[in-house]
Structures are given as structure tokens and as C-alpha cells.
Structure 1
Amino acid sequence: MSPAPQESLEIELKFDVEAGLPAPDLTDLVPDGVVGKPTTYLLEATYYDTADTALAANRITLRRRTGGTDGGWHLKRPSTVESARRELAIGFDDAPEDDGLPSYLRDQVVAVARHGELNPVATITTDRTVTAIFDADGHEVAVFCEDLVSAESLLPGGGVNRWAEWEFELVEGTMDLLKRAKAYLRAAGAQTASSTSKLARAIGSQPLETDVRVLPKKATALDLVRYELALHRKALLTYDPLAREDAPDAVHQMRVAARKVRSILTSYPEVLDRAAAQPVSDELRELGEVLGEARDIEVQLETNELLLSRENAPEDLVTALIDAERVRHRRALKSVRYALSTTRYLTLLDDLDSLIESPQPGIDADRPARDVAAEAVGASYKRLTAAQRKLRKHDSWSPEWVEQLHTIRKRAKAARYTAESAAPLRRASFDNAGRVAKKIQTHLGTFQDTAVNREHLAEVAGRVPLTGAAMFTLGRIDAREETRGRKAVKAYRRL
């Protein structure tokens, strides 16, 4: 049976308390609210991680838990929302276990675990008392948990630890309620939690120290490159599991992350040792091509679905433009999943980690970041303007002219990414260059999409036997795409 995962956003507060501290009366937290009768559960969980606790170091927890109302497998990951984590839950009936761990969950964390085996690293037993809080209309807005925790680390040298904590989790409540609860519970004697999760407290794991989060005030070029590489590595790892399951926009965002990492390596060629950086850049290009095929078909499908929705399209045209493309899209996604499951991909991630955590400096590494960034942004913008000047040598709408537009688009994208990589330095000139390049990329990107789609429409017309009505509709769609493309070029030329 295939897994039936349910992902939600877990928004909660966690506090350390003295064992036996009485819980406060929570009725006043919600005007005219009602507090339910406390219910006690015994929760028994086994947590899985690699020997070097790679998941915990990246604020990820994977557990198998029994007891309570949500027994099953739970995968928790960071979220961009304050006080929140993304939680993926799979019931036991929906998750066939492969050697003790569902293969679906292995795929979700493989980009972080890499070559490491996922084995039990801790067992945690929680004596939990849950109190539900309802608003005046009877809606459950939050739950308050009083936990007595006993945790045993299964890692070498690990031991047993016991503590008490409180958790306050939103159900249908607002962030204002969370804010009130924070002050209310602290006034009752609660203290800020010493660890981000029960597992972190059990095994003593902390977030990766090598995850560059703050750029030094007087940053060197190497500081800037490491900072930017770490930023986009995080995006790459975040979208990896989402791309595997074809979540909305995930393939696109993963492709963007891969391109931005590669852009940093090519924009600052003397900051890192070329011999170490070039293989990573080459592998990122290959990854981008695999992701790009799926993304390009996705864009084409979305465009044609929109175009056909405005027509009374014959069934044979729908089959040719939509059904057949969906088959191609599924094949492309299969290629993405295969690529992300290979040793080659995991080695790429390892090598990227090495560039960030143990960089081999190039000749520009110790130079001021602002100086090196100014040179990089200037060089990329110079290449863009040179390509624009070359456009004047060709007759408008000639094949050479159109091809040069594609070159300008690619140069604009490179200039944009280079300027955005320098954004942490807070230079207005960098920001302005990035904004202009983005506008050029956007307009010419639209033109490129229409050009590719029109080629596909022509290919379908020549390959697939269509009815007269279908050919007529195909002609109308092609004309609309031509108009959209010309408008995009006109908008670019106005710049």
C-alpha cells in the first residue's frame, strides 16, 4: 500500500518547567473561552538519524511513535514561519516498513542523510497530559501539553535524561493567541526551552556550525561566497524532497537553487580554487538540465491548458497538446527522481558541502567582498550590454536577431544572479543592476517561452493527424502566442 502522507504546519511554544509545577488556569487566554477536561497519554517514540546525527544538525527529526491520537511516523522539518515546523505524518497502515523504516521517508531525507544509514539514535517516553482550549463558538483553538519526559540516547556514550516541559500548540488559533500564551505561561513559572526539540536534548545535537548565517561586517570575498553558497544549498536541500513528489513549483525552485549555486562559482572564479570548484559547477549544470526538462514541459503544459481553456477545442487537439504532454511530463519527473537517487547526486552534495565548510581559497579569497563583487557585477553587466549592442547588427525578426535575443536573455539572467549574490553587501548600485537585469530577463523569458511553444505547435501540426477544426484552433493558438511574444519583445525594447 502506498503512503498517504499528511503535511501540516506545527506552530507551538516549548518551555522548560520544574517537575510538578501546577499548570495555570488557561480559561482567561480566550475571551469567553472554555477549557476541556485534561486527558493523559503515554507516548513512546524511537528517533532515527545517521551516526553523525546529520538530521538533528539540520533541525530535522524522524520518529516512530505509539500512543496518543496520532500514532505513526512523523517527519519534522524547519519552516520559514516563526515558532513553526513542517510536520509530515504517516499512519502505520499507510507506511510499509522497509527494514524498520518506510522507504518513502528515506527518500524525504536522503539529501541530508546522504550515504549515512538511518538507525535508532534515541528512545523517548513521554507522560503527556493534554488540555484543549476552545473559543466562544466551540472551535478548538489550541492545546496545552504537560510533559514528563524520559529520554535515552542510543549513541556511543549516551545516557538517560529526565525533565519536565510544557508545550502550547495552535490548532485554529491566531498568532496573537500564541503571543498571549507565551507571556501567560512565563508568568506561571515556565522558562524558555533549553533545546529546540526533545531529541536535541536527548542526544545533545546542535545545528550545524558550518551553516553560515551572518556575514561579517568587513567580509572578505571568501566570506561572501561561502555565505551565498550556504544560502542556496539550504534551498536545494529544502526543495529536494518536494521535487521528488512534484509539489507545486518545487522542480522550478530546485532548478533555480542549482543555477544560483553555479552562478556564484562562475561569477567569482578566483575566490575558490578552480580545481575544486569546477567539478561542482559541471555537475550542477547536468542537474539543471535534468530539472529543466521537467520544468520546461510543465511550463508548456500550463500555457497550453490556459490557451485551450479559451477555445472550444476539439478532443483530438486536447489529446495532442495536453494528454501527450502529460505523459512526457511524467517521464521527465521519473528522470528527476532517478537522478536524485544516484550516488552521483549525493557526491555532488558532499562536494558542495566541502566548498562551504572546508574551502580551498583562490587568489581573490582574502580581498574585500565589496571590491570583488563590484568587479563581478560590472563584468556580468558589461557582457549583457555587449550582447545588446550586437543586436543592432541584425535585421529585426531575422533568425540571427531572434537568436541574439536569446543570448541577451541568458546574459541578463547571469547579471541578475550575480547582482543578487552581492545583495548582502547593501550597495544600491548592485541592487539597481539586478533590477534592470531582472526586467530584461522577464520580458525576453516570456518571448522565449512563446518561441519554444510555437515550435512545439508546429511540430504537432506536422506530426499528428488532426481534424480541420483542430488545425483551425491550432492556428488561432499559434497566432495568440506570436502576439504575446511580440508584446514581450516590445516591452523589452522600451527598456
Structure 2
Amino acid sequence: MAASEQIEVELKFDVDASTDAPDLRVLPGVVGAREPETFQLDATYFDTENLDLASNKITMRRRTGGHDSGWHLKRPTAIAGARRELQVGFDEAPDEVTPPTALTDPVRVLIRSRPLIPVAVISTQRTVTTLLGAGDEPIAELAADLVTAQSLLPGGHSSQWAEWEFELLGDTGNNRLLKAASRMLTRAGGREPSSASKLARAIGATPAVSNTVPGLGKNPTALDLVLTDLATHRNALLAWDPQVRVDAYDAVHQMRVSSRRLRSVLTGFKGVLDDEKTTHLDGELRLLARILGDARDSEVQIDIDISLLEGEDVSDALRAALVGQEEIGHERALRVAHAAMNSDRYFALLDDIDELIADPPTGPLAEATAEAAADKSIGRSRKRIRQEQNRLAALPEGSDEWLEQLHVVRKKAKRLRYRVDAVAPLGKKHHHRAGKVAKVIQTALGDVNDALINRQRIAELVAQAQSGELRLEPRDLFVLGRVDTRQAAAMQRAIGTYSSVLKDL
């Protein structure tokens, strides 16, 4: 469904209804103004029964009147005073009671399977004055609003008020104009707004935001450390979810990492939480990471395949066989991931994580010091890597079993990295050093794994060409042989890098 998005930068003021707006044509960069226009705006605001959107400073509405009738979703940005506004017109979304998916998908991770219901109706008599800059370009507008609101929540009330909204148009970074307008509107009678939005004023207090990171404090316990880490990675998961839904660059990777980091915290600090009550979360997070992994692996392989043939003179048939098939697989894996992310099972997982952080089932080591818990977790992880390395040393180098064991060592190194990152707020240098070594091991053995996969795919293509299943030109086979040689050399370099840091672990 077609949607348009823009960054909205505005100032908001409470004002007495009888106060006239000042003449803003004296503001810097303003050369004129259009005649004021008056509109009647009628909006219905939607949220869950728990006000999951409002508690995250997000509003969703269906509004008639004015130049932008339609469905609107407003979300915070990192810029002070700015919000992202996503709009869908009535021609695309005529239903009066069902918000369009173009607006619900970006916040699905917050509303989950809970239905959206009307929570307020707001009528606004708006008088808009558009300010013009050079060339008669609109650069800002002042909206003088008389507002009547009715909360539809249980025990809700009606209210009336007046306010001014000054919004930048075009150049949303015009801070000079914004500051001058703020001073002028304040002198004219504008006051600090009592609420951040019309909806917030209409419905009153909202539940506390559930995604607050608790923080460690001065003398943190093991439980403090675990809850801080869980909240941090939960928030990252929530932030990347909407990006995965639109296949944004690197989003699948980052969401997968977030799910793995959550698992690492749950499994890496034994005894801090009640293990029996968190086991199911570990399993669900493992499944989520696996589903995302299919899409991530194909995404990575596409980039690798493109780089393998970069600068090479090959036929379209070879490019299609190497890259095209992987792209088809990536699209299929994304569809599977999106389906999983719209399932009740996924939403139940998110609810369970929230509940765990809000009301953690503690284990016998919850009150241990965070430093002691960190040392124990890092020490145990380093020991397991050494054990896997010893198993590797007992296998014939280059054998299938040896290559499989390299992958096991890599996974253990990745787990150590995650645990080092989890205890990073404690600032211990010996943990940091262990993490650096783990990163070298993980990266080097990842390169080995990539080269191994590439060589296997090259061998499959050559076999298909020899059997007649795949029609390649002679130059293609020559290129494949050259690429295979480069990959073999890359494997040896990566194994050398890995071997060079073993003594430092």
C-alpha cells in the first residue's frame, strides 16, 4: 500500500483562546504570507487497550479535513522537536475502522496481536497562515487551533483548549527561523505545552514505557547486570523488527544478533535467573535466530558471490547460476521470516521477554556481585573454547571432521564475544582483552567457512557444466578455477591468523 513519509519539525504552545496570533512576517527569511485558511479537522485516534502506542509517544489517527486527509502515524525521532509522519490517503485506505497495514507494520512489534481500537476523538478548528520565503516558497506555517477532545477510554472525559503549532516546511534544519519564532510566539502569549500531543492531553496519563533500560547503579548485583543486558538487547530487537519488515540493509543481521545476544545473557549467567523458568525463552530465541539466519546467510552469500566475480569476464549464465539462484532463495527466506514475525508465537515471545524483565524469576546467585558473575561467565566461556580447540588438535587437519570442528570453535568464540559485550559496562580490561581475541578467532574462522562454502559451490557448478546440466562457456570454467585458487589461499591465510592468537586466549 502506497505511503509517504516526512520529518515534521514543529513548536507547540498552549495559549488562551482569545489571544491573537502575532504577525510573523518579520521573522528572518520570511518575505510574505498567504491569506489565512480555516479548516475543520476531525480525527479518531487508535491504540491498543493497553495504550502501547501512546506509552511510546506514538500516535495513529484517521483524520478528515484540511489538505492531508487520511491515515497518519507519528513517531519520535532522535532530533529534538521532530517527529516522523507516515501518511496513507483514503484512496488507498478507505476503511474507517481498520488502520492500513502500511501504518501498522512499523509498529507491529509494539501492538503485536492486540487489536487497535478508537481511544479518542478530537475536533479541531484550525486557522493556518503559511509563511513564504524567497521565490514565494512556503518555509513555515502557523496553525492556530481551537480543540475539542473526547477520551473514549473507560472513565474518559471531554476537554477543550487552544494551542499554536509552528511547523517548518521544506528546510527542516532552519534553526534560526525556529528559534526566532519561539521567542516571538512566547512574547505574544504562548506557553509551554501541557502535553506533547493532542492525544496525550485528551487521554491523560499513559502507562510507563516498558522498554526502559534499568541501568547498573553504583554497586551492581548479578541480577542488575543481567536485567540491564536483557533490556538493552530487547530494545535492539524491537528497533530492528520494523526494518526487517521492509528488508532494510543489514536489518536481518542486526535483529538476528539481538536475538542471539538475548540467548547469550540467558544462558551465560547460570543461577542468576531461575533456569527452569527461562528455558522456554532460550528455545524460542534459538528458533527465531534460525529463521532469521536463513535470510541472513543468503544475504551474505549474495554479496560474496558478487565480489567473487567482480572484474571477471563471465557469461550471463554463470552470473545467474551463482548469484541469481541465491537471490531467489533470499526472497523465499524473507517471506518465511516475515510470516514468523506476524505469528502469535513470536508476539508471545516478546511478551514473555517483557514480563521477564519487569518481574524476573530470580535464582540463587541473583545477589552475587556483577563482577563475580562476569568473571565466572567469561572464565567458563574461555574454558569451553580451549576444550573445543583440544578436540580440533586431535583430528586430521583438513578432514571433514576437522573443518566441522573449526566451525564449532567459531561458534564458541562468538558466544565469548557476546558475553564480553554483556559485561562491558563493568569496564574490566581482562574481559576486553578476551573479547578482542575472540573477535579475531570468530572473524578468521568465519572467513574459513565462507571460503569453504564458496569452493563447494564452485565445484558444484563445474560438475553441472561437465554433465551438461549447466551450459557455461570455456572462459567461465577458467574463471571458476582462478576463483577457487584464490579461495583456497584465503582459507590458509585465515587458518594462519586463527593459529597465531591461540596462545592469547
Q: Same fold (TM over 0.5)?
A: yes
Query: In structure 2, what is the Cα distance between the partners aligned to 1:81 and 1:428?
Result: 35
Residue 480 (structure 2) aligns with: 474
Query: In structure 1, what is the Cα distance between the partners aligned to 2:118 and 2:108?
Result: 16
| Residue 388 of structure 1: how far off its partner (Å) | 5.0
Contact 1:97/1:103 (8 A) holds in 2: no
The residue matched to 2:470 in structure 1 has which SS? coil
Query: In structure 1, what is the Cα distance between the partners aligned to 2:269 and 2:17?
Result: 55
Q: Which amino acid aligns with 1:34?
A: V
Aligned match for 1:100, one of 98, 101, 105? 98
The residue matched to 1:166 in structure 2 has which SS? strand
Alignment pair present for 1:335 and 2:336: yes
Between the two proteins, the alignment pairs up a number of residues equal to: 492
Unaligned 5+ runs, structure 1: none
1:222-260 Cα shifts (integer Å, max 9, x gaps): 222222222222222222232123222222221111111
Contact 1:457/1:474 (8 A) holds in 2: yes
The residue matched to 1:424 in structure 2 has which SS? helix
Q: Which amino acid aligns with 2:476?
A: A
Query: In structure 2, what is the Cα distance between the partners aligned to 1:348 and 1:46?
Result: 31
Q: How does 1:57-456 map to 2 (within 5 A)?
A: 57-95=55-93, 97=95, 100-136=98-134, 140-170=138-168, 171-174=170-173, 176-177=175-176, 178=178, 181-182=181-182, 185-186=185-186, 188-206=188-206, 208-215=208-215, 216-388=217-389, 397-456=398-457
Contact 2:210/2:354 (8 A) holds in 1: no
Q: Which amino acid aligns with 1:305?
A: I
Moved more, 71-80 or 348-357: 71-80
| Residue 287 of structure 1: how far off its partner (Å) | 0.7
Query: In structure 2, what is the Cα distance between the partners aligned to 1:175 and 1:52?
Result: 37
Query: In structure 2, what is the Cα distance between the partners aligned to 1:371 and 1:48?
Result: 47
Moved more, 62-71 or 136-145: 136-145
Alignment pair present for 1:9 and 2:15: no
Q: Go from structure 1 to structure 2 and tell me whether the alpha carbon gap of 1:23 and 1:404 turns closer, same or farther (over 3 Å shift).
A: farther
Alignment pair present for 1:34 and 2:39: no
Contact 2:3/2:102 (8 A) holds in 1: no
Unaligned 5+ runs, structure 2: none
The residue matched to 2:110 in structure 1 has which SS? helix
The residue matched to 1:192 in structure 2 has which SS? coil
| Residue 204 of structure 1: how far off its partner (Å) | 1.9
Contact 1:58/1:207 (8 A) holds in 2: no
Q: Which amino acid aligns with 1:172?
A: D
Query: In structure 2, what is the Cα distance between the partners aligned to 1:186 and 1:227?
Result: 41
Alignment pair present for 1:457 and 2:458: yes
Query: In structure 2, what is the Cα distance between the partners aligned to 1:386 and 1:148?
Result: 72
Report % sequence identity: 45
Query: In structure 1, what is the Cα distance between the partners aligned to 2:190 and 2:455?
Result: 64
The residue matched to 2:172 in structure 1 has which SS? coil
The residue matched to 2:171 in structure 1 has which SS? coil
1:246-293 Cα shifts (integer Å, max 9, x gaps): 222222221111111111111122221112211011001001111100
1:88-129 Cα shifts (integer Å, max 9, x gaps): 222222236496332444444332223321111111122233
Larger radius of gyration: 2
| Residue 395 of structure 1: how far off its partner (Å) | 6.3
| Residue 296 of structure 1: how far off its partner (Å) | 0.6
Q: Go from structure 1 to structure 2 and tell me whether the alpha carbon gap of 1:20 and 1:407 turns closer, same or farther (over 3 Å shift).
A: farther
Give the aligned CA root-mean-square deviation in angstroms: 2.9
